[in-house]
Structure 1
Amino acid sequence: MTTALCQDNPSDDATKEKDRASTRCLNQDNFEFCGYSLKIARNMGGNLGVSAYVWDAGLALCRYFEKENINFSGKKVIELGSGTGIVGILVTLLGGAVTMTDQPNILQQIEHNISTNVPSASRQRLKVCSLTWGEDHTNFPADYDFVLGSDIVYSSVTYSSLIRTLHYLAKQGTTIYLSSAFRKGNGSLSFHEVLLPEYFNCLIVDRLEDKDITVYKMTRINARPEDWFLT
């Protein structure tokens, strides 16, 4: 179910006067996963592009966690391209210490959904940070138990940067869950079948045939000298 909300646009001191004169319109979708009712707002008036949608690949990853009864308690998790935040929020509710990342203009949407869905007592386990793949990934630690991404393989321009970032963040023993929708013309099939296996052990763990969505479970292959450029 989707509802529409309009509210004053929160702002910092530097943009308060500009934001006072404007409002943002939020569409809110309701989801049920792992016994939790999630209310996910999407800022349709904020020029967020693809980040203003709850994509089926993200829902597929949430359903996979539910189906497999995965417990993230005590685990350190980072999510790439969090968008609305639905995956990272669910993982937090399942006990994970989660760092949710995206471009700077997306973070306010994520923080709004955190405030709606995550109890205050659990927010100490949550961080929201900007991360540009291939540029500032080395500002983050490389000791995560899980790296997550849903529908982040959509532009061939970003593929080398994404691999570089995944390779840095995933230590030996880190599990990567990547949920991807394959689209014609963007090279996503080649990315998963040719590029990723050069650096990661890739296992298909779930598939939605009707939506052409595949969930991969990946681990990093031991680094070779020719891979050093990735770090």
Structure 2
Amino acid sequence: MMTTALSPEHSGDETPKVKDYSPTSYITHSNFEFCGYSLKIARTLSASLGVSAYVWEAGIALCRYFEKEKISFAGKKVIELGSGTGIVGILAALLGGNVTITDKPTILEQIKNNVSTNIPPACRHRLKVRPLTWGQDHTNFPTDYDFILGSDIVYSLVSQPSLIETLRHLSNQGATIYLSSEFRTGNGSLPFHEVLLPDYFNCQVVDRLMGKDITVYKMTKISTDPADGL
């Protein structure tokens, strides 16, 4: 059974363990279980990492969806956007995927530490950690991914155009996109999913977290080839 997520500051099945402390940052560990895998996720709580230092409940919901639907990424090419702690991408790799985990450059050390802790050495060749700033260097990445993953990445109105641009570049007609979002007042996440994304993607609600404003969407790119309509 999956560990139930608590508040972002205390996600996991136990009280976070403090590993190191300084006046500006400290590291905690939380344990999770999905799909038969036990994950130990370290979080560096500091001003420099900000919201990326938390395991957000939308990420837990996406991992739980993979578990519930028995999704396998075996042999598939996967990219995760705005990974934060790396928990979703790490699970995708454990489920067989060839995974690229991405976030802003300042977040990558946290992700690499969690990869080292949770991915067996024999499997690490299937996982890469790379910097990706939406709307800026997304064209450095290929367009042949089988799966694109994101959890709680719709949190800023300013970043939404760049996120859509990045999703459109990375996805091909056969790609499946899973986005898990928590709807919060003022962040524009609901109209982003219900109004903006449908202009470019076929969007389907596949899961909701009971008692929370968290929804998991499954998306595919809308074809722009006139021949597809014949």
Shared fold by TM > 0.5? yes
How many angstroms apart in 2 are the aligned matches of 1:104 and 1:84?
Answer: 13
1:208 deviation in Å? Answer: 1.2
- 2:200 is aligned with what amino acid? Y
- 2:50 is aligned with what amino acid? G
* CA deviation map 1:113-164 (0-9, x unaligned): 0011000111000110000101110100000000000000000000000000
In the other structure, the counterpart of 2:59 is 58
How many angstroms apart in 1 are the aligned matches of 2:119 and 2:206?
Answer: 28
In the other structure, the counterpart of 2:151 is 150
Contact 1:201/1:221 (<8 A) preserved: yes
How many angstroms apart in 1 are the aligned matches of 2:153 and 2:184?
Answer: 12
How many angstroms apart in 1 are the aligned matches of 2:67 and 2:219?
Answer: 19
1:3 deviation in Å? Answer: 1.1
Residue pairs, 1:121-140, within 5 angstroms: 121-140=122-141
How many angstroms apart in 2 are the aligned matches of 1:97 and 1:46?
Answer: 32
Contact 1:78/1:146 (<8 A) preserved: yes
Matched, 1:6 2:7: no
1:23 deviation in Å? Answer: 8.9
Deviates most, 73-82 or 24-33: 24-33
Length-normalised TM-score, structure 2: 0.89
How many angstroms apart in 1 are the aligned matches of 2:225 and 2:211?
Answer: 38
In the other structure, the counterpart of 1:104 is 105
Contact 2:24/2:47 (<8 A) preserved: no
Matched, 1:40 2:41: yes
* CA deviation map 1:13-53 (0-9, x unaligned): xxxxxxxx999521101000000110000001362000000
Runs of 4 or more consecutive aligned structure 1 residues displaced over 6 Å after TM superposition:
none
How many angstroms apart in 1 are the aligned matches of 2:79 and 2:24?
Answer: 31
How many angstroms apart in 1 are the aligned matches of 2:17 and 2:62?
Answer: 23
Using a 3 Å threshold, how does the CA distance of structure 1 residues 46 and 113 change in structure 2: closer, same or farther? Answer: farther
- 2:105 is aligned with what amino acid? P
Q: Which has the larger helix fraction?
A: 1
In the other structure, the counterpart of 1:74 is 75
Aligned length: 212
How many angstroms apart in 2 are the aligned matches of 1:222 and 1:166?
Answer: 14
Length-normalised TM-score, structure 1: 0.88
Using a 3 Å threshold, how does the CA distance of structure 1 residues 23 and 154 change in structure 2: closer, same or farther? Answer: closer
Using a 3 Å threshold, how does the CA distance of structure 1 residues 23 and 111 change in structure 2: closer, same or farther? Answer: farther
How many angstroms apart in 2 are the aligned matches of 1:32 and 1:67?
Answer: 13
Contact 1:81/1:102 (<8 A) preserved: yes
Residue pairs, 1:77-96, within 5 angstroms: 77-96=78-97
- 2:61 is aligned with what amino acid? A
In the other structure, the counterpart of 2:219 is 218
Residue 211 of structure 2 aligns to a residue whose secondary structure is helix
1:224 deviation in Å? Answer: 7.0
In the other structure, the counterpart of 2:30 is 29
- Work out the percentage of aligned pairs sharing the same amino acid: 69
Deviates most, 152-161 or 21-30: 21-30
In the other structure, the counterpart of 2:190 is 189
- 2:101 is aligned with what amino acid? M
Contact 1:151/1:181 (<8 A) preserved: yes
